[in-house]
Structure 1
Amino acid sequence: MRNVLNTLRVLEEVASRQPIGVGELARVLDLPKSTVQRALVTLDTAGWIRPAAGEVTRWAITTKALAVGGRAGGDLGMRGTALPIMEDLRRLTGETIHLTIPENGKMVLIERLETDKPVRTSMALGHALPMHASANGKAVLAFAPPEQLRQLLLDDLPHYTDTTITAPEALRAELDLVRAQGFAVNRGEWRSDVGAIAAAVLDAESRPVASLSVNLPIGRLTAESEPVFAAAVRTAAADLGSRLG
């Protein structure tokens, strides 16, 4: 199972960063080069990737990925609609942009655009984020039906860092603030070195169907940058909700 998951992670990173070599893949994924190389051989043999032009072997996605993607349903339309909005948001903020959707009590990353800055956050597509300890999750929870929050609070909330909100009343107060201001902030609540600002994407009936977020190392989430990023992501989320109808 681990080998399969590692191979899928490699495929996702090649798709996101193509063309890319084994060394950079190993660094980004924090995997041994030998593990990455085996995954690349498997994907190449199966026709999912191909060597890109150049003296050093770097890899790119083949049209097989497009063929499979073309048969996908569900969130594909949302991703296509979101991409130009995400591009604008990345240009405005200069940071990594995530599109996540609520699924099985988590927020699942379905699209991302990376910053050009050398120090950045990194997360594979398909990764699940905790609702209570992520900006994306709090943004959605603030507009979710009350029953969803009650269900979440039936069990003790996991504690990830010193800033994770785990007390029920504290989380309720935080969500009231998110609802009032229209965005959520994560100040190292899931990973101590990662910050984010997110806004919920609401459908025509004001139900949260996704969230957009600006993601960055915690050192770049400052008193000066936070309101700028918050205004940008709130506008982007409202735009996406409007386009989705």
Structure 2
Amino acid sequence: MQNVLNALRVLEEVAARQPIGVAELARAMDLPKSSVQRALLTLHTAGWLRQAGGAPTRWLVTAKALQVGRQATGELGLRDAAVPVMEELRRQTGETVHLAVPEGGRVILVERLETSQPVRIVLPLGQDLPAHASANGKAVLAASPAEALESYLAEGLARYTDTTIVEPRRLLDELAEIRRRGYATNSGEWRSDVSAVASAVIGGLGLPVASISVNVPASRATDASQTEHGALVSAAAKRLGVALGARG
């Protein structure tokens, strides 16, 4: 039983710190290197971990973890419906398009279609985004029930950059504007180099099940492009919601 628990802990730590070597992992977990090495090899054999290459050996989580997570939450069906909509949005904007799902007060990036432009925003699948400091997150918050929003505000609003909204009243005002406008914006509120617009995808029960965003480097974002992308991403989110069973 302890070996199984160690392996699961190692998987979680690698996911949080990847790429990471056995010595660093053993220190972080306060376990003998031999125990960590056994767990790494077991997870590698089972297909959960892979070597990053180079020396010394460092470890990464494989796509198997994301696949299992998607199956557990029903995201495979969401992705199947979302990808054609995302492809059309990428064609319209020429920029990177993200699909994220709400989870525990944050939103998790589950699909990405990249721009062909040389300067781009690159975020790994599985990246979690703060709800109040990202376009995807604010879009979801704006579409969430009042009790969910109250619970989120009760946890406090962490600051990530100089432009992060950390005052509850100011965030509530912004969410009201998002509802009126139909899309959320982010201009460096989580990472100073990231700008995005996003709209919530409303499922059959009238609740936000995902959000779609167009993401650009802050250096390429303008007020005009945000307005244009906002209208396109709002329409894309509505099409996906209808595909998932929401009322058109």
Alpha-carbon shift at residue 70 of structure 1 (Å)? 10
For the 8 Å contact 2:52–2:58, the answer to whether it is kept is no
Mapped pair 1:82 → 2:98:
no
CA distance in structure 2 between the partners assigned to 1:226 and 1:217 by the alignment: 12
CA distance in structure 2 between the partners assigned to 1:91 and 1:237 by the alignment: 15
Instruction: Label 1:153 to 1:36 Cα distance change in 2 as closer, same or farther (>3 A).
Output: same
- Which residue of structure 2 aligns with residue 27 of structure 1? none
Alpha-carbon shift at residue 5 of structure 1 (Å)? 5.4
Pairwise mapping of residues 1-245 of structure 1 onto structure 2 (< 5 A)?
A: 1-2=13-14, 6=18, 36-37=52-53, 74-245=74-245
Matched residues, number = 197
Instruction: Label 1:235 to 1:42 Cα distance change in 2 as closer, same or farther (>3 A).
Output: same
Instruction: Label 1:149 to 1:123 Cα distance change in 2 as closer, same or farther (>3 A).
Output: same
CA distance in structure 2 between the partners assigned to 1:204 and 1:3 by the alignment: 32
Pair member with larger Rg: 2
Provide TM-score, normalisation by structure 2.
Answer: 0.73
Alpha-carbon shift at residue 148 of structure 1 (Å)? 1.2
Instruction: Label 1:70 to 1:125 Cα distance change in 2 as closer, same or farther (>3 A).
Output: closer
Residue-by-residue CA offset, 1:52-94 (whole Å, 9 max, x unaligned): xxxxxxxxxxxxxxx9799766110000110011001011111
Q: Amino acid of the residue matched to residue 75 of structure 1?
A: E
Q: Amino acid of the residue matched to residue 2 of structure 1?
A: V
Q: Percent identity?
A: 49
Residue-by-residue CA offset, 1:115-158 (whole Å, 9 max, x unaligned): 11111111111110000000001101011011111111113311
CA distance in structure 1 between the partners assigned to 2:160 and 2:145 by the alignment: 25
Q: Answer 1 or 2: which has greater helix percent.
A: 2
CA distance in structure 2 between the partners assigned to 1:69 and 1:138 by the alignment: 23
* Structure 2 gaps, min length 5: 1-12, 21-50
Q: Amino acid of the residue matched to residue 206 of structure 1?
A: G
Q: CA RMSD in A?
A: 2.7
Alpha-carbon shift at residue 6 of structure 1 (Å)? 2.7
CA distance in structure 1 between the partners assigned to 2:162 and 2:15 by the alignment: 33
CA distance in structure 1 between the partners assigned to 2:91 and 2:224 by the alignment: 18
Residue-by-residue CA offset, 1:169-225 (whole Å, 9 max, x unaligned): 000000000011110000110001100000000013321110000011012210221
Instruction: Label 1:75 to 1:226 Cα distance change in 2 as closer, same or farther (>3 A).
Output: same
